[in-house]
Structure 1
Amino acid sequence: MPEQSPTRRPVAFAVFLVIAGAIGLLAAFELSLEKVLTLEDPTHVPSCNVGVLVGCSVNLASEQGSVFGFPNPFLGLMAWPAVIVVGMSLLAGARFARWYWLVFNAGLLFAFGLVCWLIQQSIYVLDVLCPWCMVTWAVTIPAFFAVTLYNLREGRFGGSERVRRIGGTLLKWVPLITVVAYAVVVILAQARMNAIPRVLIDLQNLFG
C-alpha cells in the first residue's frame, strides 16, 4: 500500500476500505440470511455447507455464533457499512478529527480481537471452518492492520517523527503482514484439524 502525502487524498487506502467493507458486508449478509432461514425452517441446509469440515451450520447454531446474545453476523451488518462510509468519504476529500480516527481504530481493534477468538474457537473447539466466517476473517485482519498503521503514520497516536516513519514503512507491508497472518491460521488449522486433506475431500465430494 503506497505511502500518501498528508496533503493528498489517500486514494489507495480509501479504495481498500471500500472493497474490504463491501466484502465484509456481503459475508455478514449471507450469514445473517442463512441464520434467518434456519430459524424459519430447522431443516434448512445452508448453502455454505460444503462438507463435514467446511460449513456454516455448526457455527451458526453454537454459543460462539451468538456471543452477545444475537447472531454474530448482525454485528457485521451494522459495522461494515461504517468502513465503506469512511472509505467513500476519504475518496470525496473528507477529513476527520483525531478522535474520530481513534474511535474507528478502536472498533477495528474490537473486531480483530473477536475474529482472533472466533478463529481459536473454530479450530480448537468447534472443529469446523465456516466459509463466510473465513471471508470475514480475511478482510478484518488487513483492515485492522491498515487502519492502525495509517493512524500511526499520521501521528494520531502521538509519538515522534521516527515513530510516524515506522508506521509509514510498515503500512507498505500490510499485504505481507496479512499473508503471514493467513499462514498462521492455516498452520494452526492443519496442526489441530488436519484441515487441508479434509477440505480437499469435502471439495471432491461437492464437485465429484
Structure 2
Amino acid sequence: MFSKIKNWLFHEDLKKQNLAAFIMLVGSGLGLLASFVLSIEALELAKNSHAVLSCDFSSALSCSAVANHWSAAILGFPNSFIGVMTLPVMVTIAVALLAGAKFPKWFMQAAQAGAIIGMIFAIWMFYMSYVEIGVLCPWCLTLDLGMLMIILGLTRYNVLQKNISCRCAQKIVGGGYDVLTIISLVVVVIVAIIAKFGSQLF
C-alpha cells in the first residue's frame, strides 16, 4: 500500500500522467458547472425572454443576450444541455485515471476525438459571441476555459501513455510546448476581449 502511494507521488511518469488527469478533472468540473448554470438560465429565459440574469453585468457581458441568439440552441435545445450530458463522462474518466484505471487505447482515442469536437464547438460559439453577437457570456467563457483544460490534460495523458503515437506530439508534450500554446491562446483571447470591449466590461 505504502509503495503504491510512494509511486503515485514520486514516480516521474506517474506524476506527469496524474497532473494531466488532474488538469482534465478541473477543466471538466469547470465546464460542467458552467453548463449546469447556463441550463438553469436557459429555463429561466424560456419562462421570460426578457428576464435579467445574474450574469448580466454590462452591455458587453450578458448571458441573456447570448442565450437569446439562435446560435445558443443550434440543435433545437440549449447548447448547455450538451455539456450537462457529456461533461460528466469526462469527469468520470479523469477521476478513474487519477485512481489508476487503465482504459483501452481505442477508448482513450475516442475520448480525445470527443474532446476535439467539443473544443471546435466551443471555438465556434466564442466566434459567434465575439463577432456576430458582439456580447460575451461569462459562463460561456468559463466553459471555454474548461474545454481548453480538458484538451490540454487529455492530450498530455494520451501522449504520455502513447495512445497518441505521433512523434511530433511526443516532442510537443515533452518540451512543454502544448502548455505554452494554451497559455498563449488564453492571453491572446484576453487581449482581444479588452481591445474590443474595453471599458464596457465594467
Superposition TM-score tier, normalisation by shorter sequence: 0.7 to 0.9
What's the TM-score once normalised by structure 1's chain length? 0.83
Q: Deviations over 1:16-38 (max 9, x none)?
A: 22221111111001100001011
Aligned equivalent of 2:148: 141
Residues 52-201 of structure 1 aligned to structure 2 (within 5 Å):
52-160=59-167, 163=168, 165-170=170-175, 172-191=176-195, 194-199=196-201
Q: Give the Cα–Cα distance (whole angstroms) in 2 for the partners of residues 186 and 164 of structure 1.
A: 27
Aligned equivalent of 2:27: 20
Question: CA RMSD for the aligned pairs?
Answer: 2.3
Give the drift of 1:142: 2.7
Aligned equivalent of 2:13: 5
**Structure 1 unmatched runs, 5+:** 204-208
Q: Give the Cα–Cα distance (whole angstroms) in 1 for the partners of residues 84 and 186 of structure 2.
A: 24
Q: 1:42 aligns with which of 46, 49, 61?
A: 49
Q: Give the Cα–Cα distance (whole angstroms) in 2 for the partners of residues 136 and 10 of structure 1.
A: 23
**Closer/same/farther in 2, CA of residues 180 and 133 from structure 1, 3 Å limit:** same
Q: Give the Cα–Cα distance (whole angstroms) in 1 for the partners of residues 12 and 172 of structure 2.
A: 12
Deviates more, 1:12-21 or 1:29-38: 12-21
**Closer/same/farther in 2, CA of residues 159 and 48 from structure 1, 3 Å limit:** closer
Give the drift of 1:151: 1.8
Identical-residue share of aligned pairs (%): 24
**Structure 2 unmatched runs, 5+:** 1-10
Give the drift of 1:168: 3.5
**Closer/same/farther in 2, CA of residues 189 and 101 from structure 1, 3 Å limit:** same
Q: Deviations over 1:75-112 (max 9, x none)?
A: 11011111110111012211000111111001110011
**Closer/same/farther in 2, CA of residues 128 and 137 from structure 1, 3 Å limit:** same
What's the TM-score once normalised by structure 2's chain length? 0.85
Q: Give the Cα–Cα distance (whole angstroms) in 1 for the partners of residues 90 and 177 of structure 2.
A: 21
Give the drift of 1:190: 4.2
Q: Give the Cα–Cα distance (whole angstroms) in 2 for the partners of residues 149 and 22 of structure 1.
A: 18
Aligned equivalent of 1:206: none
Secondary structure at the residue paired with 1:145? Answer: helix
**Closer/same/farther in 2, CA of residues 99 and 114 from structure 1, 3 Å limit:** same
Q: Which is richer in helix? A: 2
